Copies of this chain bind each other. A is one copy, B any other.
Amino acid sequence: MPDHNQKAPHESVQESLRRVVELLHKHELVESLVNKQDMPRHDLVQQLVHKQNLTELQNTLDALHPADVAYILEALPLDQRLIVWELVRADRDGDILLEVSDAVRESLIATMDTAELRAAAEHLDTDEIADLAPDLPREVIEDLFKSLDKEEQAQLQSALSYPEDTVGALMDFDMVSIRSDMTLEEVLGHLRTLGELPSHTDKLFVVDRNAKLRGVLPLKRLLLHNPDVQVASLMADDPVVFNAEDKAGDAASAFERYDLVTAPVVDARNRLVGRMTVDVVMDFIRDEAEGDVLALAGLREEEDMFASVWKSMQNRWTWLAINLVTAFIASRVIGVFEGSIEKVVALAALMPIVAGIGGNSGNQTITMIVRGLALGQIHPSSMRKLFIKEIGVSLLNGLIWGSILGLLAYALYRNAALGAVMTGAMVLNLLLAATMGVFIPLVMHKFGRDPAVGSSVLITAVTDSGGFFIFLGLATIFLL
Protein backbone atom coordinates (compact mmCIF):
# COMPACT_ATOMS: atom_id res chain seq x y z
CA MET A 1 0.00 0.00 0.00
CA PRO A 2 1.48 3.35 -0.98
CA ASP A 3 2.09 5.78 1.84
CA HIS A 4 0.28 9.02 1.02
CA ASN A 5 0.71 10.50 4.47
CA GLN A 6 3.46 12.77 3.38
CA LYS A 7 1.75 14.09 0.26
CA ALA A 8 1.11 17.72 0.93
CA PRO A 9 -2.07 19.56 0.06
CA HIS A 10 -0.17 22.51 -1.39
CA GLU A 11 -3.52 24.08 -1.89
CA SER A 12 -6.89 23.21 -0.47
CA VAL A 13 -8.94 20.72 -2.44
CA GLN A 14 -11.59 23.38 -3.08
CA GLU A 15 -8.97 25.48 -4.85
CA SER A 16 -8.00 22.49 -6.98
CA LEU A 17 -11.65 21.95 -7.82
CA ARG A 18 -11.97 25.57 -8.86
CA ARG A 19 -8.90 25.30 -11.11
CA VAL A 20 -10.10 22.11 -12.74
CA VAL A 21 -13.48 23.68 -13.47
CA GLU A 22 -11.75 26.70 -14.98
CA LEU A 23 -9.63 24.56 -17.28
CA LEU A 24 -12.67 22.52 -18.25
CA HIS A 25 -14.49 25.69 -19.21
CA LYS A 26 -11.59 26.90 -21.35
CA HIS A 27 -11.56 23.51 -22.99
CA GLU A 28 -15.30 23.60 -23.63
CA LEU A 29 -15.04 27.13 -24.98
CA VAL A 30 -12.46 26.09 -27.54
CA GLU A 31 -14.54 23.06 -28.46
CA SER A 32 -17.63 25.17 -28.99
CA LEU A 33 -15.70 27.74 -31.03
CA VAL A 34 -14.44 24.99 -33.27
CA ASN A 35 -17.93 23.65 -33.70
CA LYS A 36 -19.67 26.99 -34.15
CA GLN A 37 -17.33 28.49 -36.70
CA ASP A 38 -17.46 25.26 -38.63
CA MET A 39 -13.71 25.34 -38.77
CA PRO A 40 -11.96 22.18 -39.78
CA ARG A 41 -11.25 20.31 -36.56
CA HIS A 42 -7.76 19.71 -37.85
CA ASP A 43 -6.89 23.37 -37.87
CA LEU A 44 -3.47 23.37 -36.34
CA VAL A 45 -3.75 26.38 -34.01
CA GLN A 46 -7.05 25.28 -32.58
CA GLN A 47 -5.77 21.84 -31.98
CA LEU A 48 -2.78 23.21 -30.15
CA VAL A 49 -4.84 25.41 -27.83
CA HIS A 50 -7.17 22.52 -27.24
CA LYS A 51 -4.32 20.24 -26.40
CA GLN A 52 -2.66 22.79 -24.19
CA ASN A 53 -5.69 23.09 -21.96
CA LEU A 54 -6.01 19.37 -21.60
CA THR A 55 -2.31 18.98 -20.85
CA GLU A 56 -2.51 21.59 -18.15
CA LEU A 57 -5.57 19.84 -16.74
CA GLN A 58 -3.74 16.54 -16.82
CA ASN A 59 -0.75 18.00 -14.99
CA THR A 60 -3.04 19.47 -12.35
CA LEU A 61 -4.66 16.09 -11.83
CA ASP A 62 -1.36 14.23 -11.69
CA ALA A 63 -0.23 16.45 -8.84
CA LEU A 64 -3.29 15.66 -6.74
CA HIS A 65 -3.76 12.98 -4.12
CA PRO A 66 -6.13 10.22 -5.33
CA ALA A 67 -8.65 11.24 -2.64
CA ASP A 68 -8.64 14.78 -4.02
CA VAL A 69 -9.18 13.58 -7.58
CA ALA A 70 -12.09 11.52 -6.22
CA TYR A 71 -13.50 14.61 -4.53
CA ILE A 72 -13.30 16.57 -7.78
CA LEU A 73 -14.91 13.78 -9.79
CA GLU A 74 -17.84 13.72 -7.35
CA ALA A 75 -18.30 17.47 -7.69
CA LEU A 76 -18.44 17.47 -11.51
CA PRO A 77 -21.49 16.91 -13.71
CA LEU A 78 -21.31 13.69 -15.69
CA ASP A 79 -19.94 15.07 -18.99
CA GLN A 80 -17.10 17.00 -17.31
CA ARG A 81 -16.50 14.09 -14.93
CA LEU A 82 -15.81 11.77 -17.84
CA ILE A 83 -13.41 14.22 -19.48
CA VAL A 84 -11.41 14.35 -16.25
CA TRP A 85 -11.60 10.59 -15.76
CA GLU A 86 -10.12 10.08 -19.24
CA LEU A 87 -7.18 12.28 -18.32
CA VAL A 88 -6.30 10.45 -15.10
CA ARG A 89 -3.23 8.24 -15.40
CA ALA A 90 -4.34 4.63 -15.76
CA ASP A 91 -2.21 3.41 -12.87
CA ARG A 92 -4.09 5.74 -10.50
CA ASP A 93 -7.56 4.59 -11.61
CA GLY A 94 -7.75 1.87 -8.97
CA ASP A 95 -6.86 4.11 -6.02
CA ILE A 96 -9.33 6.73 -7.16
CA LEU A 97 -12.15 4.22 -7.69
CA LEU A 98 -11.65 3.16 -4.07
CA GLU A 99 -12.10 6.73 -2.87
CA VAL A 100 -15.21 7.85 -4.76
CA SER A 101 -18.74 7.28 -3.49
CA ASP A 102 -20.60 4.16 -4.62
CA ALA A 103 -22.86 6.06 -6.97
CA VAL A 104 -20.03 7.93 -8.67
CA ARG A 105 -17.93 4.76 -8.89
CA GLU A 106 -20.76 3.16 -10.81
CA SER A 107 -20.82 6.04 -13.29
CA LEU A 108 -17.04 5.76 -13.84
CA ILE A 109 -16.90 1.98 -14.16
CA ALA A 110 -19.72 2.11 -16.70
CA THR A 111 -17.33 3.88 -19.12
CA MET A 112 -14.46 1.40 -18.74
CA ASP A 113 -13.94 -1.78 -20.72
CA THR A 114 -12.71 -5.08 -19.30
CA ALA A 115 -9.06 -4.40 -20.07
CA GLU A 116 -9.14 -0.98 -18.41
CA LEU A 117 -10.83 -2.35 -15.33
CA ARG A 118 -8.32 -5.15 -15.05
CA ALA A 119 -5.46 -2.69 -15.39
CA ALA A 120 -6.97 -0.42 -12.74
CA ALA A 121 -7.41 -3.23 -10.24
CA GLU A 122 -4.01 -4.80 -10.81
CA HIS A 123 -2.25 -2.18 -8.71
CA LEU A 124 -4.46 -2.77 -5.70
CA ASP A 125 -4.07 -4.90 -2.59
CA THR A 126 -6.32 -7.91 -2.24
CA ASP A 127 -8.52 -6.24 0.39
CA GLU A 128 -8.96 -3.29 -1.96
CA ILE A 129 -9.89 -5.56 -4.86
CA ALA A 130 -12.48 -7.10 -2.55
CA ASP A 131 -13.90 -3.63 -1.86
CA LEU A 132 -14.31 -2.97 -5.57
CA ALA A 133 -15.54 -6.47 -6.38
CA PRO A 134 -19.30 -5.79 -6.10
CA ASP A 135 -19.00 -3.23 -8.90
CA LEU A 136 -16.74 -5.25 -11.22
CA PRO A 137 -17.92 -7.61 -13.98
CA ARG A 138 -17.49 -11.28 -13.09
CA GLU A 139 -14.91 -11.90 -15.83
CA VAL A 140 -12.67 -9.12 -14.53
CA ILE A 141 -12.68 -10.61 -11.05
CA GLU A 142 -11.90 -14.05 -12.44
CA ASP A 143 -8.99 -12.68 -14.46
CA LEU A 144 -7.68 -10.80 -11.44
CA PHE A 145 -8.00 -13.87 -9.27
CA LYS A 146 -5.90 -15.91 -11.69
CA SER A 147 -3.18 -13.27 -11.70
CA LEU A 148 -2.73 -13.47 -7.89
CA ASP A 149 -0.39 -15.80 -6.06
CA LYS A 150 -1.73 -18.54 -3.75
CA GLU A 151 -1.58 -16.45 -0.58
CA GLU A 152 -3.28 -13.49 -2.22
CA GLN A 153 -5.97 -15.74 -3.68
CA ALA A 154 -6.71 -17.02 -0.18
CA GLN A 155 -6.84 -13.42 1.11
CA LEU A 156 -9.23 -12.34 -1.63
CA GLN A 157 -11.49 -15.33 -0.99
CA SER A 158 -11.43 -14.61 2.72
CA ALA A 159 -12.20 -10.89 2.25
CA LEU A 160 -15.09 -11.70 -0.08
CA SER A 161 -16.50 -14.33 2.25
CA TYR A 162 -17.42 -11.94 5.09
CA PRO A 163 -20.76 -10.15 4.99
CA GLU A 164 -20.72 -6.38 4.55
CA ASP A 165 -20.54 -4.57 7.90
CA THR A 166 -18.40 -7.20 9.56
CA VAL A 167 -14.82 -6.67 10.62
CA GLY A 168 -13.77 -9.26 8.02
CA ALA A 169 -15.09 -7.08 5.20
CA LEU A 170 -13.20 -4.01 6.46
CA MET A 171 -9.86 -5.54 7.44
CA ASP A 172 -6.70 -5.46 5.35
CA PHE A 173 -3.85 -7.96 5.16
CA ASP A 174 -0.94 -5.58 5.69
CA MET A 175 0.04 -6.95 9.05
CA VAL A 176 3.63 -7.42 10.15
CA SER A 177 3.90 -10.42 12.44
CA ILE A 178 6.83 -11.44 14.64
CA ARG A 179 7.62 -14.23 17.13
CA SER A 180 7.81 -13.71 20.86
CA ASP A 181 11.26 -15.33 21.14
CA MET A 182 12.87 -12.75 18.84
CA THR A 183 14.99 -9.98 20.34
CA LEU A 184 14.24 -6.39 19.44
CA GLU A 185 17.42 -6.38 17.36
CA GLU A 186 16.12 -9.33 15.32
CA VAL A 187 12.78 -7.56 14.92
CA LEU A 188 14.52 -4.45 13.61
CA GLY A 189 16.53 -6.60 11.23
CA HIS A 190 13.33 -8.23 10.03
CA LEU A 191 11.70 -4.83 9.45
CA ARG A 192 14.72 -3.59 7.50
CA THR A 193 14.49 -6.67 5.27
CA LEU A 194 10.87 -5.80 4.57
CA GLY A 195 12.13 -2.36 3.58
CA GLU A 196 8.81 -0.61 4.17
CA LEU A 197 6.17 -0.74 6.88
CA PRO A 198 2.48 -0.77 5.98
CA SER A 199 0.69 2.54 6.50
CA HIS A 200 -0.62 3.21 10.02
CA THR A 201 1.62 0.56 11.57
CA ASP A 202 1.79 1.44 15.26
CA LYS A 203 2.27 -2.08 16.56
CA LEU A 204 3.57 -5.43 15.37
CA PHE A 205 1.56 -8.58 15.90
CA VAL A 206 3.18 -11.37 17.90
CA VAL A 207 2.14 -14.87 16.77
CA ASP A 208 3.21 -18.40 17.59
CA ARG A 209 4.18 -21.06 15.06
CA ASN A 210 0.50 -21.84 14.41
CA ALA A 211 -0.20 -18.22 13.54
CA LYS A 212 -2.14 -17.82 16.77
CA LEU A 213 -2.06 -14.31 18.17
CA ARG A 214 -0.04 -14.04 21.38
CA GLY A 215 0.15 -10.27 21.83
CA VAL A 216 1.25 -7.04 20.21
CA LEU A 217 4.46 -5.06 20.31
CA PRO A 218 3.90 -1.30 20.05
CA LEU A 219 6.50 0.39 17.82
CA LYS A 220 7.17 2.79 20.69
CA ARG A 221 8.51 0.00 22.86
CA LEU A 222 10.64 -1.20 19.98
CA LEU A 223 12.13 2.28 19.78
CA LEU A 224 12.65 2.92 23.45
CA HIS A 225 14.04 -0.35 24.70
CA ASN A 226 17.38 -2.08 24.60
CA PRO A 227 17.90 -4.15 21.39
CA ASP A 228 18.85 -7.22 23.47
CA VAL A 229 15.45 -7.51 25.12
CA GLN A 230 13.14 -10.29 24.00
CA VAL A 231 9.75 -9.49 22.46
CA ALA A 232 8.04 -11.76 25.01
CA SER A 233 9.08 -9.55 27.90
CA LEU A 234 7.89 -6.34 26.26
CA MET A 235 4.77 -7.28 24.36
CA ALA A 236 1.27 -6.42 25.57
CA ASP A 237 -0.45 -9.77 25.94
CA ASP A 238 -4.06 -8.58 26.20
CA PRO A 239 -4.51 -6.05 23.39
CA VAL A 240 -7.86 -5.10 21.89
CA VAL A 241 -8.52 -7.87 19.36
CA PHE A 242 -11.39 -8.27 16.94
CA ASN A 243 -12.89 -11.37 15.51
CA ALA A 244 -13.38 -11.29 11.74
CA GLU A 245 -17.06 -11.96 12.29
CA ASP A 246 -17.60 -9.12 14.78
CA LYS A 247 -19.95 -6.37 13.72
CA ALA A 248 -18.08 -3.48 12.10
CA GLY A 249 -20.09 -1.01 14.17
CA ASP A 250 -18.93 -2.56 17.44
CA ALA A 251 -15.33 -2.50 16.24
CA ALA A 252 -15.70 1.16 15.26
CA SER A 253 -17.00 1.98 18.75
CA ALA A 254 -14.03 0.19 20.26
CA PHE A 255 -11.64 2.20 18.06
CA GLU A 256 -13.29 5.39 19.26
CA ARG A 257 -13.42 4.35 22.90
CA TYR A 258 -9.91 3.01 23.18
CA ASP A 259 -8.32 5.48 20.74
CA LEU A 260 -6.83 2.74 18.57
CA VAL A 261 -4.77 3.21 15.42
CA THR A 262 -4.61 -0.44 14.37
CA ALA A 263 -5.85 -3.70 15.88
CA PRO A 264 -5.30 -7.36 15.00
CA VAL A 265 -8.17 -9.44 13.61
CA VAL A 266 -8.34 -13.15 14.40
CA ASP A 267 -10.53 -16.03 13.31
CA ALA A 268 -12.55 -18.32 15.58
CA ARG A 269 -9.41 -20.24 16.48
CA ASN A 270 -7.47 -17.10 17.46
CA ARG A 271 -5.31 -17.19 14.34
CA LEU A 272 -4.21 -13.81 13.02
CA VAL A 273 -6.07 -13.20 9.75
CA GLY A 274 -5.85 -9.45 9.21
CA ARG A 275 -5.88 -6.02 10.80
CA MET A 276 -8.21 -3.09 11.17
CA THR A 277 -6.89 0.46 10.72
CA VAL A 278 -8.28 3.75 11.96
CA ASP A 279 -8.62 5.27 8.47
CA VAL A 280 -11.04 2.54 7.41
CA VAL A 281 -12.91 2.95 10.70
CA MET A 282 -13.21 6.69 10.12
CA ASP A 283 -14.65 6.13 6.64
CA PHE A 284 -17.06 3.60 8.12
CA ILE A 285 -18.23 6.06 10.79
CA ARG A 286 -18.72 8.78 8.19
CA ASP A 287 -20.69 6.44 5.91
CA GLU A 288 -22.90 5.27 8.76
CA ALA A 289 -23.63 8.82 9.88
CA GLU A 290 -24.44 9.90 6.33
CA GLY A 291 -26.63 6.86 5.85
CA ASP A 292 -28.64 7.90 8.90
CA VAL A 293 -29.21 11.42 7.59
CA LEU A 294 -30.12 10.11 4.13
CA ALA A 295 -32.47 7.52 5.63
CA LEU A 296 -34.23 10.24 7.60
CA ALA A 297 -35.01 12.01 4.33
CA GLY A 298 -36.03 8.75 2.71
CA LEU A 299 -33.10 8.43 0.34
CA ARG A 300 -32.23 4.78 -0.08
CA GLU A 301 -28.56 5.40 -0.61
CA GLU A 302 -26.01 8.07 -1.23
CA GLU A 303 -26.97 9.70 -4.50
CA ASP A 304 -24.62 11.00 -7.16
CA MET A 305 -25.49 14.72 -7.14
CA PHE A 306 -25.52 14.60 -10.93
CA ALA A 307 -27.32 11.30 -11.34
CA SER A 308 -29.85 11.12 -14.12
CA VAL A 309 -33.42 12.07 -13.29
CA TRP A 310 -34.36 8.44 -13.70
CA LYS A 311 -31.71 7.15 -11.25
CA SER A 312 -32.72 9.75 -8.69
CA MET A 313 -36.34 8.71 -9.02
CA GLN A 314 -35.41 5.13 -8.21
CA ASN A 315 -33.48 6.26 -5.14
CA ARG A 316 -36.39 8.30 -3.84
CA TRP A 317 -39.64 6.71 -4.90
CA THR A 318 -39.99 4.09 -2.13
CA TRP A 319 -40.26 6.71 0.55
CA LEU A 320 -42.66 8.87 -1.43
CA ALA A 321 -44.86 5.85 -2.07
CA ILE A 322 -44.92 4.94 1.62
CA ASN A 323 -45.76 8.52 2.49
CA LEU A 324 -48.50 8.56 -0.07
CA VAL A 325 -50.08 5.57 1.62
CA THR A 326 -49.83 7.07 5.10
CA ALA A 327 -51.10 10.45 3.84
CA PHE A 328 -53.97 8.69 2.14
CA ILE A 329 -54.90 6.92 5.37
CA ALA A 330 -54.83 10.24 7.23
CA SER A 331 -56.99 11.69 4.48
CA ARG A 332 -59.55 8.92 4.97
CA VAL A 333 -59.61 9.64 8.72
CA ILE A 334 -60.58 13.21 7.84
CA GLY A 335 -63.09 11.83 5.33
CA VAL A 336 -64.96 10.13 8.18
CA PHE A 337 -65.54 13.51 9.78
CA GLU A 338 -66.55 15.43 6.65
CA GLY A 339 -69.99 15.97 8.17
CA SER A 340 -68.46 17.73 11.17
CA ILE A 341 -66.20 19.87 8.99
CA GLU A 342 -69.18 20.93 6.89
CA LYS A 343 -70.81 22.25 10.05
CA VAL A 344 -67.71 23.83 11.63
CA VAL A 345 -65.38 24.68 8.76
CA ALA A 346 -62.79 26.12 11.18
CA LEU A 347 -61.91 22.52 11.99
CA ALA A 348 -60.34 22.15 8.54
CA ALA A 349 -58.07 25.11 9.17
CA LEU A 350 -57.02 24.03 12.66
CA MET A 351 -56.52 20.29 12.26
CA PRO A 352 -53.14 20.42 10.47
CA ILE A 353 -51.66 22.25 13.47
CA VAL A 354 -52.54 19.43 15.86
CA ALA A 355 -51.14 16.80 13.49
CA GLY A 356 -47.98 18.79 12.67
CA ILE A 357 -46.89 19.60 16.22
CA GLY A 358 -47.54 15.98 17.20
CA GLY A 359 -45.23 14.83 14.42
CA ASN A 360 -42.47 17.16 15.52
CA SER A 361 -42.67 16.22 19.14
CA GLY A 362 -42.75 12.51 18.27
CA ASN A 363 -39.68 12.88 16.09
CA GLN A 364 -37.79 14.50 18.96
CA THR A 365 -38.62 11.59 21.24
CA ILE A 366 -37.76 9.01 18.60
CA THR A 367 -34.40 10.64 17.86
CA MET A 368 -33.42 10.33 21.53
CA ILE A 369 -34.51 6.70 21.76
CA VAL A 370 -32.93 5.65 18.47
CA ARG A 371 -29.65 7.19 19.60
CA GLY A 372 -29.78 5.39 22.94
CA LEU A 373 -30.53 2.11 21.18
CA ALA A 374 -27.74 2.60 18.65
CA LEU A 375 -25.29 3.12 21.50
CA GLY A 376 -26.70 0.10 23.35
CA GLN A 377 -27.35 2.36 26.32
CA ILE A 378 -31.04 1.62 26.77
CA HIS A 379 -31.39 -1.08 29.36
CA PRO A 380 -34.68 -2.82 30.20
CA SER A 381 -34.55 -1.44 33.74
CA SER A 382 -34.23 2.14 32.50
CA MET A 383 -37.07 1.91 29.97
CA ARG A 384 -39.76 2.78 32.49
CA LYS A 385 -37.87 5.92 33.58
CA LEU A 386 -37.37 6.97 29.97
CA PHE A 387 -41.03 6.49 29.18
CA ILE A 388 -42.17 8.46 32.23
CA LYS A 389 -39.81 11.29 31.34
CA GLU A 390 -41.04 11.50 27.74
CA ILE A 391 -44.66 11.45 28.90
CA GLY A 392 -43.84 14.25 31.33
CA VAL A 393 -42.22 16.38 28.62
CA SER A 394 -45.18 15.82 26.30
CA LEU A 395 -47.74 16.62 28.95
CA LEU A 396 -46.01 19.87 29.79
CA ASN A 397 -45.55 20.78 26.11
CA GLY A 398 -49.14 19.85 25.38
CA LEU A 399 -50.47 22.02 28.20
CA ILE A 400 -48.30 25.02 27.30
CA TRP A 401 -48.57 25.01 23.51
CA GLY A 402 -52.08 23.58 23.57
CA SER A 403 -53.25 26.45 25.77
CA ILE A 404 -51.65 29.03 23.51
CA LEU A 405 -53.30 27.47 20.48
CA GLY A 406 -56.60 27.14 22.30
CA LEU A 407 -56.52 30.86 23.02
CA LEU A 408 -55.61 31.65 19.41
CA ALA A 409 -58.44 29.46 18.15
CA TYR A 410 -60.81 31.22 20.52
CA ALA A 411 -59.56 34.63 19.41
CA LEU A 412 -59.99 33.75 15.74
CA TYR A 413 -63.35 32.06 15.86
CA ARG A 414 -64.86 33.47 19.08
CA ASN A 415 -65.76 29.95 20.12
CA ALA A 416 -64.63 28.89 23.60
CA ALA A 417 -65.57 25.24 23.10
CA LEU A 418 -63.46 25.14 19.94
CA GLY A 419 -60.52 26.53 21.92
CA ALA A 420 -60.97 23.88 24.60
CA VAL A 421 -61.15 21.09 22.00
CA MET A 422 -57.95 22.43 20.44
CA THR A 423 -56.11 22.35 23.79
CA GLY A 424 -57.40 18.88 24.64
CA ALA A 425 -56.48 17.50 21.23
CA MET A 426 -52.96 18.92 21.47
CA VAL A 427 -52.36 17.33 24.87
CA LEU A 428 -53.69 13.96 23.75
CA ASN A 429 -51.79 13.94 20.46
CA LEU A 430 -48.50 14.85 22.15
CA LEU A 431 -49.04 12.03 24.65
CA LEU A 432 -49.69 9.70 21.72
CA ALA A 433 -46.51 11.00 20.08
CA ALA A 434 -44.43 10.34 23.21
CA THR A 435 -45.85 6.85 23.69
CA MET A 436 -45.28 5.82 20.10
CA GLY A 437 -41.96 7.68 20.01
CA VAL A 438 -40.70 5.37 22.75
CA PHE A 439 -42.37 2.16 21.61
CA ILE A 440 -41.88 2.19 17.83
CA PRO A 441 -38.06 2.12 18.00
CA LEU A 442 -38.06 -0.35 20.91
CA VAL A 443 -40.32 -2.76 19.04
CA MET A 444 -38.30 -2.40 15.81
CA HIS A 445 -35.12 -3.06 17.80
CA LYS A 446 -36.69 -6.08 19.48
CA PHE A 447 -37.47 -7.58 16.08
CA GLY A 448 -33.91 -7.00 14.92
CA ARG A 449 -34.64 -4.10 12.59
CA ASP A 450 -32.63 -0.88 12.47
CA PRO A 451 -34.85 1.68 14.23
CA ALA A 452 -33.07 4.55 12.46
CA VAL A 453 -34.72 3.50 9.21
CA GLY A 454 -38.43 4.08 9.01
CA SER A 455 -39.13 5.12 12.62
CA SER A 456 -39.65 8.67 11.49
CA VAL A 457 -42.23 7.74 8.80
CA LEU A 458 -44.11 5.58 11.24
CA ILE A 459 -44.32 8.20 13.97
CA THR A 460 -45.47 10.85 11.50
CA ALA A 461 -48.12 8.48 10.16
CA VAL A 462 -49.40 7.83 13.67
CA THR A 463 -49.41 11.47 14.76
CA ASP A 464 -51.08 12.61 11.52
CA SER A 465 -53.91 10.10 11.49
CA GLY A 466 -54.07 10.15 15.28
CA GLY A 467 -54.05 13.93 15.44
CA PHE A 468 -56.86 14.27 12.90
CA PHE A 469 -58.87 11.56 14.65
CA ILE A 470 -58.44 13.02 18.13
CA PHE A 471 -59.15 16.60 17.10
CA LEU A 472 -62.11 15.90 14.81
CA GLY A 473 -63.43 13.25 17.20
CA LEU A 474 -63.38 15.60 20.19
CA ALA A 475 -64.94 18.32 18.04
CA THR A 476 -67.74 15.98 16.91
CA ILE A 477 -68.49 15.04 20.52
CA PHE A 478 -68.29 18.48 22.09
CA LEU A 479 -69.12 21.00 19.37
CA LEU A 480 -72.00 19.47 17.45
Whether the pair A5, B464 counts as a contact (CB closer than 8 A) is no
A55 within 8 A of B: no
Residue of B nearest to A236 (CB): B6
Enumerate A260-308 residues with CB–CB distance to B below 8 Å: 260-261, 278-279, 281-283, 285-286, 289-290, 292-294, 296-299, 303, 305-308
Enumerate A207-261 residues with CB–CB distance to B below 8 Å: 216, 218-220, 222-224, 236, 238-241, 250, 253-261
Shortest distance in angstroms between A205's beta carbon and chain B's nearest beta carbon? 13
A278 contact set on B, CB distance < 8 A: 261, 278, 282
Which stretch, A41-49, A123-131, A157-165, A189-197, touches the partner chain B? A189-197
Q: Interface digits, A341-359 against B, CB 8 Å rule (1 contact, 0 not)?
A: 1100111111111011100
A155 within 8 A of B: no
Residue of B nearest to A330 (CB): B352
A239 contact set on B, CB distance < 8 A: 5-6, 8
> Complex: how many Å from CA A255 to CA B202?
17
With contacts A223-B219, A261-B261 taken as known, whether A305 is within 8 angstroms of B368 at the C-beta atoms is yes
Which stretch, A106-114, A135-143, A312-320, touches the partner chain B? A312-320
A338 within 8 A of B: yes
Residue of B nearest to A361 (CB): B320
Residue of B nearest to A405 (CB): B324
> Complex: how many Å from CA A253 to CA B13?
10
Whether the pair B393, A256 counts as a contact (CB closer than 8 A) is no
A218 contact set on B, CB distance < 8 A: 5-6
A30 within 8 A of B: no
A478 within 8 A of B: no
Question: Most chain-B Cβ atoms within 10 A of its Cβ — which of A224, A285, A306, A401?
Answer: A224
Enumerate A12-56 residues with CB–CB distance to B below 8 Å: 12-14, 17-18, 21, 25
Whether the pair B258, A360 counts as a contact (CB closer than 8 A) is no
With contacts A195-B224, A257-B65 taken as known, whether A352 is within 8 angstroms of B377 at the C-beta atoms is no
29 contacts between A and B (CB under 8 A): A5-B260, A6-B218, A9-B254, A12-B250, A17-B379, A67-B256, A71-B375, A71-B377, A76-B382, A77-B385, A196-B224, A199-B259, A200-B261, A202-B261, A222-B223, A256-B282, A289-B293, A293-B371, A299-B368, A305-B372, A306-B385, A308-B389, A312-B393, A324-B357, A328-B405, A334-B348, A334-B349, A335-B346, A338-B345
Interface residues of A (CB under 8 A from B): 4-10, 12-14, 17-18, 21, 25, 65, 67-68, 71, 74-77, 188, 191-192, 195-197, 199-203, 216, 218-220, 222-224, 236, 238-241, 250, 253-261, 278-279, 281-283, 285-286, 289-290, 292-294, 296-299, 303, 305-309, 312-313, 316-317, 319-321, 323-324, 327-328, 330-332, 334-335, 338, 341-342, 345-353, 355-357, 360-361, 363-364, 366-368, 371-372, 375-379, 381-382, 385-386, 389, 392-393, 396-397, 401, 404-405, 408, 412, 464, 468
